[in-house]
């Protein structure tokens, strides 16, 4: 389906500011509401077997019965829509089901399945079997690639110069290997910082086959390169406070590991 230039010009008439298009009362939100209401009306027409404003077939005793107001929550806030009704209550819309209160995006479904280690083929099959949705491999790849770009940006973001407390830990997690597609046990290195305001922040996550001092040293170097100059109280989760030599006592400024780390 191609939207003509004339139709776009008509829709954008009067849009002079960004909020006129993308704001809370902007064109995009209004258009989304109107499209959903039109699709719901088409579903009711198919259910009843006659168009709105036309006479019902003699054999059809069920009739349109106005609309019901509904507010759906989504990523862009609440969306008020009018859902058409029928007299005997047998209408079961597919677009927005009875009792549904949220509009869940396709991206969220794809990302969740991708995070669980499913392949593009697995994701396509799952979406079709469970939701009846046919999704192209290109769409799945574009969604997952966009997420990976955000992950890389988050992993390389600048950090504070000083953290009063940073807790270092390594978790054993089952991860699907990208090459062999086999699930393997790997170490996920975690650095959890506490800011001067007492806010906890995950400084980074790193994946390796095993936990070791050399990999920890590379983590420290990365933190230093991202701006961290000092940590007042560095510690490892689950450490013995009576044996300080077992702590990963790291002074980021200079990156020197304590003996016994």
Partnered with residue 64 across adjacent β-strands are: 86
SS3 state of residue 63: coil
Residue 182 and residue 146 share a domain: no
Nearest to 220 by CA among 193, 201, 195: 193
- Distance CA(146)–CA(68), nearest Å, equals 38
Please state the domain count of the chain: 3
Greater confidence (29 vs 166) lies with 166
Residue 65 and residue 23 share a domain: yes
Banded pLDDT at 174 (limits 50, 70, 90): confident
pLDDT at 162: 92
Given 155, 178, 198, which residue is the final one in a domain? 155
Each residue's pLDDT tens digit, 98-129: 887 766 565 666 666 776 667 777 877 777 77
pLDDT at 87: 92
Residue 181 and residue 95 share a domain: no
Helix 106-115 / helix 137-155 crossing angle, nearest 10 deg: 70
Query: Which range marks the domain in which residue 57 is found?
Result: 17-101
pLDDT at 72: 80
Banded pLDDT at 80 (limits 50, 70, 90): confident
Provide the 8-state DSSP code for 131: I
Residue 2 lies in a domain: no
Tokens of 107: 């991206």
Residue 252 and residue 172 share a domain: yes
pLDDT at 134: 66
How many helices (DSSP H) and strands (DSSP E) are in the chain? 7, 8
């Amino acid at each position: 389906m191609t939207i003509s230039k004339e139709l776009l010009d008509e829709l954008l008439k009067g849009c002079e500011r960004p909020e006129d298009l993308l704001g809370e009362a902007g064109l995009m939100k209004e258009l989304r509401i109107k499209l959903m209401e039109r699709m719901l009306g088409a579903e009711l027409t198919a259910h009843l077997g006659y168009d709105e404003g036309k006479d019902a077939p003699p054999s059809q005793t069920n009739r349109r019965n106005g609309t019901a107001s509904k507010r759906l929550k989504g990523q862009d806030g609440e969306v008020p829509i009018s859902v058409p009704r029928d007299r005997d209550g047998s209408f079961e819309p597919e677009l927005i089901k009875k009792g549904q209160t949220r509009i869940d995006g396709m991206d969220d479904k794809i990302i969740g399945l991708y995070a669980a280690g499913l392949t593009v083929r697995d994701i396509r099959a799952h979406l079709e079997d469970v939701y009846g949705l046919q999704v192209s491999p290109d769409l799945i790849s574009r969604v997952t690639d966009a997420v990976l770009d955000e992950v890389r940006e988050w992993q390389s973001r600048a950090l504070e110069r000083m953290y009063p407390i940073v807790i270092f830990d390594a978790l054993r997690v089952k991860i699907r290997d990208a090459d062999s597609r086999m699930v393997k046990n790997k170490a996920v290195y975690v650095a959890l910082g506490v800011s001067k305001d007492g806010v906890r922040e995950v400084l980074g996550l790193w994946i390796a086959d095993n936990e070791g001092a050399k990999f920890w040293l590379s983590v420290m170097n990365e933190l230093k390169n991202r701006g961290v100059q000092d940590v007042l109280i560095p510690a490892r989760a689950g450490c013995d406070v009576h044996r300080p030599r077992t702590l990963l006592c790291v002074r980021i400024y200079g990156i020197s590991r304590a003996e016994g780390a």
